[in-house]
Amino acid sequence: MFGRIQLSEKITMNVLLLLVAIVWLVPLVYLLGYSLEGDHWGNYQAVLSLKLFPHFLINSFIVSVSVVILLLTVVALAAFGFSKATFPGASSIFAICLIGLMIPPVAMLVPLFQTVKSFHWMNTYMSLIGPEVAMSIPFSLLLARNAFDEIPNELLEAAEMDGANAWGKFVRIILPLAVPVLTTIGILAFLNSWNQYLFPLVFINKETMLTVTMAPKFFINEYTSDYHKVFAALVLITIPIVILYLFGQKYMQRGLTSGAIK
């Protein structure tokens, strides 16, 4: 059992948390301040007046939402199988799936490029959706499987006695109880997809198919660069994900701690 936290310990923890918050806030304050230098709010107006900027937003939204839907579908079904179904080699297959946690996306760039090219996905949404889903599966599957392990098997047995098949147990029992962890996985997938810079840079060369993370490069030329507008673009890119995190924070905290207690 944990004892009562002393006042000195509370003060120490708050001071440490304040220092960590300052470390994270200083770059954000600098980003916002630098984006207002020069033309001030004109920097933001210049970004918003880009002819292709609406296309960037729409492309990012389509890609991010598609990644979330596809990832949640695959991960929820796979986690249900690994957690509640028994079949030969389940542990070995699950361990193989987790190998992806040790491989950085940059190391997979060449084989991903060859795969995307062989499927004729270059300059399409699938060139951004497919690799993003594939690289997100290992960590998402780990979170979901641990959360599904917490759901008592007695609930599934009771549902089976009521005549529910495997699909019925998954839809009526597992999914309602797994909302926190699935919401966490969805939020993380949306954030990662929205902030993705490497895949659009490599797989997309048609301007109308670029995502919002490519907007800053339109203010960087060969000999001159307007970094005030670049920073303004970065601020605008950040706003949607900050709003999403604020609304989904409580679900993320619950989802990330799922499976911590057995």
Q: Could you report the per-residue pLDDT of 168-180, keeping only the tens digit for each?
A: 888 888 988 888 8
Structural domain includes residue 169: yes
Q: Where do we find the tokens 């060859």? A: 114
Contact of 249 with 231, CB cutoff 8 Å: no
Cβ atoms within 10 Å of 183's Cβ, excluding its own: 17
Percent of the chain with pLDDT over 70: 92
Identify the top-confidence range among 37-41, 52-56, 105-109. Answer: 52-56
Contact of 181 with 242, CB cutoff 8 Å: no
Domain region containing 153: 36-256
Contacts (Cβ under 8 Å, ≥6 apart) of 202: 109, 113
Q: How confident is the model at residue 84 (pLDDT cuts 50, 70, 90)?
A: confident
Structural domain includes residue 101: yes
Q: How confident is the model at residue 246 (pLDDT cuts 50, 70, 90)?
A: confident
Structural domain includes residue 4: no
The alpha carbon dihedral of 68, 69, 70, 76 has a sign of positive
Q: Which of 208, 207, 199, 201 is nearest to 127 (CA)?
A: 199
Rounded Cα–Cα distance for residues 145 and 81 (Å): 9
Cβ atoms within 10 Å of 148's Cβ, excluding its own: 22
Report pLDDT for 36.
87
Report pLDDT for 145.
92
Structural domain includes residue 142: yes
Is the pLDDT at 9 greater than 90? The verdict is: no
Q: How confident is the model at residue 119 (pLDDT cuts 50, 70, 90)?
A: very high
The CA distances from residue 230 to 173, 200, 210, 219, 226, in Å, are 48, 18, 16, 6, 7
Q: Which of 104, 8, 43 is nearest to 231 (CA)?
A: 43
Is the pLDDT at 126 greater than 50? The verdict is: yes
Q: State the average pLDDT for the chain.
A: 86
Report pLDDT for 57.
92
The CATH number given to whatever domain includes residue 50 is 1.10.3720.10
Report pLDDT for 255.
57
Is the pLDDT at 233 greater than 80? The verdict is: yes
Give the mean model confidence (pLDDT) for residues 100-109.
84
Is the pLDDT at 77 greater than 90? The verdict is: yes
Structural domain includes residue 30: no
Rounded Cα–Cα distance for residues 22 and 37 (Å): 22
Q: Which of 255, 105, 65 is nearest to 178 (CA)?
A: 255
Fill in the DSSP letter of residue 220: B
Count of domains forming the chain: 1
Structural domain includes residue 63: yes
Report pLDDT for 133.
94
Q: Tell which wins on pLDDT, 166 or 253.
A: 166
Is the pLDDT at 262 greater than 60? The verdict is: no
Task: Tell me, letter by letter, the H, E, C secondary structure of 101-130.
Answer: HHCCHHHHHHHHHHHHHHCCCCCCCHHHHH
Q: Which residue(s) pair with 220 in the sheet?
A: 225
Report pLDDT for 71.
96
Structural domain includes residue 211: yes
Report pLDDT for 105.
80
Q: Which of 95, 44, 80, 73 is nearest to 230 (CA)?
A: 44
Report pLDDT for 1.
46
Report pLDDT for 160.
84
Report pLDDT for 252.
66
Give the mean model confidence (pLDDT) for residues 76-105.
86
Q: How confident is the model at residue 88 (pLDDT cuts 50, 70, 90)?
A: confident
Rounded Cα–Cα distance for residues 82 and 93 (Å): 9
Structural domain includes residue 239: yes
Opening angle at CA 74, ends 70 and 79, nearest 5: 145
Percent of the chain with pLDDT over 90: 33
Q: Where do we find the tokens 């699938």? A: 126
Give the mean model confidence (pLDDT) for residues 197-221.
89
